Amino acid sequence: MSIQAVRLFRKLDGLFAVYKPQGVHWKLVRDTVESHLLKELNSCPPPPPRLTVQFQLLSSGENRSSTDLTLSPSMVPSLADHPQVTGPQFHKVHVGIGQRLDAFSSGVLVLGLGKANGLLEHLCKAHVTRDYTLEGEFGKATDNFCHTGRVIEKTTYDHVTQDKLERVLAMIQGTNQKALIMYSQVDLQTQEAYELALKGLLYPHGKSPPILTGLRCIHFNPPHFTLEVQCLNETQKYLRKLIHEVGLELRTSAVCSGVRRTRDGPFTVENALTRQQWTTDNIIQAIANFRSTTRKIRKSGIYRQTAAQSNTSIQEQKSKGHDDAQNFSCDTMVDRESDETRDEERTKF
Amino acid sequence: MHLCQRCVFVFRCGRISAAVQQSTRILHQRSHDTRSTAAMLQPSHKQLPVHNLSQKYNRETWRPCGMHLRALSSSVQNNSSHLTQKKDENHCVTYDSSDLHQESSQASLSNTHNIGLDAGVRPSPFQEICEEEAVRIQVPSALPPVSFTLRPYVDKSETLSKLVQLGVELWKLEQRPNVGSMLVKLDFHADVAPRLLFLKDLGVEEPKLGSLLTKNPFILTESLENLEARVAYLRSKKFSAQSVAAMVSKAPYLLNFSVKRLDNRLGFFQQQLGLSSEKTQNLVIRLPKLLCGSLEPVKENLKVCELEFGFRENEIRHIVTTVPKVLLANKRKLTEIFDFVHNTMGIPHSLIAKFPQVLNAKFLRIRERHLFLEYLSRAQYQPSQPSYISLDRLVFLPDEIFCSDVALASLEDFEQFQKTL
């Protein structure tokens, strides 16, 4: 492999976010990005071919004008190193993928290159929260909760008002809050637990079902409505089912007409790359933009391993909460971060 | 090229004349084959295509150098009698039957045994030997008998090196099963050169020969009479010479199909689409792949256009002559695009038939651009009303020009909008 190609390959190391269009399988996105990178890498000039000694019948010397052919050695580039014989320098680039998005949804999709592929697992396991925008439509119910599915029933929705909807959302948020407390395995009677709950740093331990930490209605225009959701450990099908359940609670039926992920942990939609930007230069720039967040994920991953060994639940909560702290888009985020860094420093020593 | 100590010494002595020098070099390679292959024959790998090398051409006569080689050739028996004489060609690839393997292995095993057991009798390298003995020297070949790539054989094989010089991508061909072995088997002057000259006479340009052979290496094994018959048939159907050359460049497998099949295809398109012979010709010249593939997907696509989409006969004819690719398009994707354009964008059949390029475009592109125009309330596709946007401008323009001329917005706005979809 040539030096230029190797240098370019070394630069492709890190995490970046991509905006997945709706209707496209996540694998196609990953394969497209990989093929663009491979095209760029293989366009670098190939290494020079080896020179081999070949004995060729050449006319001996310029002095003699006779047609006397003798075998004389000469250094000839070997055809075995010709790019048409060896093929392209790179056949594969490992592009890892973070939390997947199914074909119906669109939004932020985290991809990893090189060494950062190992961090993707950290990101998934670190229980980071994700922001979604769900678009719903009252009046019908389908078999797969999408507006493109087979319609099972149709209902009226004239009785639905915004405050009824808000009440139902508040009830759902309440049940989810209780679930969060239960799964974080924290005794709410203690002072520390109370402080964590106050700051919003409660966290599920181990496996948990999908939990919504935030839910509100952005737009209400019957039959269409839009919800904003912050959740942990979810799947897109669960979110579509949520819309269906909201409809059921309001004694009507609802289908989901769009699931859009606006944030996946520290990766937001502002820095995600659109389809036209899936080129090597843009990807390298995006990796540079996300370098600090990548470093933080790596550090938190290592810290979690050492904290697990020391075996204190509160420490673990704090370390995981460090991730969460950056993710919550709240007003007190700055204070929380400064608190957390102080806490981290204290618990490190 | 690999020369052992003895041969270098022999050459330096200058005892052998120039004519025999060439033969000795070739002999070398022949004897390399003879010795090495039998000793190193391995069972070939099941998944990867493997190019086998085994001994052959041991009974041949060499035109410029007559007597010396016959003495050598008696060492191993060979079944194949159809092999022609070669000058530089020294590779032969066969999937030999087991008995040939055994035969050859027995023969050369005996040779190896002779050399091994008579170690004392072997002369020292510095001893001078006569010409006949020098000619009978057997040196093991440096070429592997079995290989997953064509790299070890390229330098030594005239066919392969000439193909590389033409521009054929050997790395693509060696991945296909059996093709690599077939290429190594070919003789340049007997097989490859006549067909290359034939293609050149046909009018295929030299830069395109490489890609043609990369896509269809089997043109080199098709018999010349068949190829000429097919070209004669196409000429008889009033295709001009340049158009035949263009068709062959675009659809490399064209000349591998029989005359009957080509006739069948041409008849089908003329009859089904109801086009005149000239229009059928134009259609086929634009997309010669139609003559190569199966007709079932084409029939299905035509049925879909007629029944599902509801286009009339003349509309289908116009669409197909403007955009022939619709006949070979994926049915599901075609339906998706049509559904969006007709139902969501609200464009009637007549307008779609007027701009059939829309059916050939990428669905995501159409969707994003239409939604952007709708967001800017500039989605106006009726020709009768002002600020009308034609479908081909919607689809064909690159992003920057689309944003500046059609949508009257900036590229950043378009990207921001894409992230809200």
Counting one residue from chain A and one from chain B, the pairs whose CB atoms sit within 8 A come to 68
A258 and A140 part of one domain: yes
pLDDT of residue A276: 92
Phi, psi of B355 (to 5 degrees): -120, 75
Phi, psi of A27 (to 5 degrees): -65, -35
Residues from chain A that touch B9, judged by Cβ atoms under 8 A, are none
How many domains does chain A fold into? 2
Scan residues 148-207 of B and list those with Cβ closer than 8 Å to A. 149-152, 154-155, 160-161, 164, 167-172
Confidence of residue B114 (pLDDT cuts 50, 70, 90): low
A276 contacts B415? CB cut-off 8 A: yes
Given A240, A264, A288, which residue is the final one in a domain? A264
Report the range out of A59-63, A199-203, A287-291, A338-342 with the highest average pLDDT.
A287-291
Say if A176 falls within a structural domain: yes
DSSP string, B70-133: HHHHTTS------PPP-SS---------HHHHHHHHHHHHHHHHHHHHTTTTSPPTTS---HHH
A246 and A153 part of one domain: yes
pLDDT digits (tens, 9 = 90+) for A77-111: 998 999 999 999 999 999 999 889 999 999 999 99
A253 and A297 part of one domain: no
pLDDT of residue A66: 59
- Which residue of B12, B419, B420 to mutate against A (max A Cβ within 10 Å)? B419
Q: One-letter amino acid identity for B59?
A: R
**Does the pLDDT at position B312 exceed 60?**
yes
Nearest-CA residue of chain B relative to A76? B155
pLDDT of residue B40: 38
Say if A188 falls within a structural domain: yes
Phi, psi of A127 (to 5 degrees): 50, 45
pLDDT digits (tens, 9 = 90+) for B336-356: 999 999 999 999 999 999 999
Residues from chain A that touch B161, judged by Cβ atoms under 8 A, are 79
Q: Is B1 at the interface with chain A, CB within 8 A?
A: yes
pLDDT of residue B387: 86
A284 and A170 part of one domain: no
Task: Tell me which of B48 and A72 has the higher pLDDT.
Answer: A72
**Does the pLDDT at position A70 exceed 70?**
yes
B22 contacts A54? CB cut-off 8 A: no
Q: How far is A201 from chain B (nearest CA, A)?
A: 30
Q: How far is B183 from chain A (nearest CA, A)?
A: 13
Q: How far is A260 from chain B (nearest CA, A)?
A: 8
A82 contacts B164? CB cut-off 8 A: yes
pLDDT of residue A312: 45
- From A19, A55, A68, residue closest to B1, measured CB to CB: A55
Say if A319 falls within a structural domain: no
Say if A178 falls within a structural domain: yes
- From A53, A79, A274, residue closest to B161, measured CB to CB: A79
**Could you tell me the CATH number of the domain that includes residue A199?**
3.30.2350.10
A71 contacts B21? CB cut-off 8 A: yes
Chain A residues with CB within 8 Å of chain B CB: 19, 21-24, 52-55, 57, 68-71, 78-80, 82, 84-88, 106, 260, 269, 272, 274-277
**Does the pLDDT at position B29 exceed 70?**
no
pLDDT of residue A335: 33
What is the reported pTM?
0.75
A80 contacts B151? CB cut-off 8 A: yes
Asked whether the beta carbons of A129 and A325 are under 8 A apart, the reply is no
A107 and A16 part of one domain: yes
* Residue of B69, B67, B111 lying closest to B86 (CA atoms): B69
pLDDT of residue B37: 41
Q: How far is B179 from chain A (nearest CA, A)?
A: 14
Say if A327 falls within a structural domain: no
What are the start-end ranges of the H helices in B216-323? 224-236, 241-250, 259-273, 277-286, 296-303, 313-322
Q: Is B399 at the interface with chain A, CB within 8 A?
A: yes
| Exposure on the CB side of residue A49, measured as CA atoms within 13 A | 17
* Residue of A250, A204, A207 lying closest to A227 (CA atoms): A250
pLDDT of residue B234: 92
pLDDT mean across residues, chain A: 83
Residues from chain A that touch B364, judged by Cβ atoms under 8 A, are 21, 23-24, 275
pLDDT of residue A308: 56
For A97, other C-beta atoms within 10 Å of its C-beta total 19
pLDDT of residue A295: 86
Host domain of residue A27: 1-46+89-126+269-302
**Does the pLDDT at position B358 exceed 50?**
yes
A253 and A298 part of one domain: no
Say if A8 falls within a structural domain: yes
The burial of B12, by beta-carbon neighbours within 10 Å (0-12 exposed, 13-18 middle, 19 or more buried), is given as exposed
Instruction: Point out the catalytic residue in the list A31, A102, A158, A335.
Output: A102
Say if A9 falls within a structural domain: yes
Matching residue, tokens 């060696």: B174
pLDDT digits (tens, 9 = 90+) for A236-252: 999 999 999 999 999 99
A133 and A246 part of one domain: yes
A152 and A276 part of one domain: no
A256 and A135 part of one domain: yes
Asked whether the beta carbons of A230 and A327 are under 8 A apart, the reply is no
Return the DSSP state at B254.
Answer: G
* Residue of A26, A220, A277, A251 lying closest to A139 (CA atoms): A251
pLDDT of residue A183: 87
Residues from chain B that touch A56, judged by Cβ atoms under 8 A, are none
- CA atoms of B217 and B197, how far apart (whole Å): 15
Share of chain B above pLDDT 90, in %: 48
Confidence of residue A282 (pLDDT cuts 50, 70, 90): very high
Per DSSP bridges, beta strands A254-264 and A106-113 are: parallel
What is the phi-psi region of residue A6: left when phi exceeds 0, alpha when psi lies from -120 to 50, beta otherwise?
alpha
pLDDT mean across residues, chain B: 77
A86 contacts B171? CB cut-off 8 A: yes
- CA atoms of A82 and A49, how far apart (whole Å): 7
A146 and A200 part of one domain: yes
B421 contacts A106? CB cut-off 8 A: yes
Q: How far is CA B185 from CA A244, B55, B138, B191, in A?
A: 67, 12, 23, 10
**Does the pLDDT at position A134 exceed 50?**
yes
Confidence of residue A182 (pLDDT cuts 50, 70, 90): confident
pLDDT of residue A305: 60
Residues from chain B that touch A24, judged by Cβ atoms under 8 A, are 364
Contacts by residues B276-280 (CB-CB < 8 Å, ≥ 24 positions apart): B277/B238, B279/B321
- Which residue of A28, A66, A68, A79 to mutate against B (max B Cβ within 10 Å)? A79
pLDDT of residue B4: 56
Residues from chain A that touch B11, judged by Cβ atoms under 8 A, are 71
pLDDT digits (tens, 9 = 90+) for B72-107: 333 333 333 333 333 333 443 433 333 334 444 444
Confidence of residue A328 (pLDDT cuts 50, 70, 90): very low
A227 and A201 part of one domain: yes
For A86, other C-beta atoms within 10 Å of its C-beta total 17
Report the range out of A60-64, A299-303, A320-324, B14-18 with the highest average pLDDT.
A299-303
Listed range (A321-330, B226-235, B292-301, B371-380) with the worst mean pLDDT: A321-330
Listed range (A244-253, A303-312, B30-39) with the worst mean pLDDT: B30-39
B154 contacts A80? CB cut-off 8 A: yes
- From A53, A71, A84, residue closest to B171, measured CB to CB: A84
Say if A281 falls within a structural domain: yes
Q: Is B15 at the interface with chain A, CB within 8 A?
A: no
Return the DSSP state at B291.
Answer: G
Q: Is B11 at the interface with chain A, CB within 8 A?
A: yes
A136 and A249 part of one domain: yes
Task: Please state the rounded mean pLDDT for residues B128-137.
Answer: 84
Phi, psi of A209 (to 5 degrees): -75, 175
Confidence of residue B61 (pLDDT cuts 50, 70, 90): very low
**Does the pLDDT at position B26 exceed 80?**
no
- Concerning whether A102 is annotated as a catalytic residue, the answer is yes
- CA atoms of B333 and B326, how far apart (whole Å): 11
pLDDT of residue B133: 83
**Does the pLDDT at position A296 exceed 90?**
no
Confidence of residue B35 (pLDDT cuts 50, 70, 90): very low
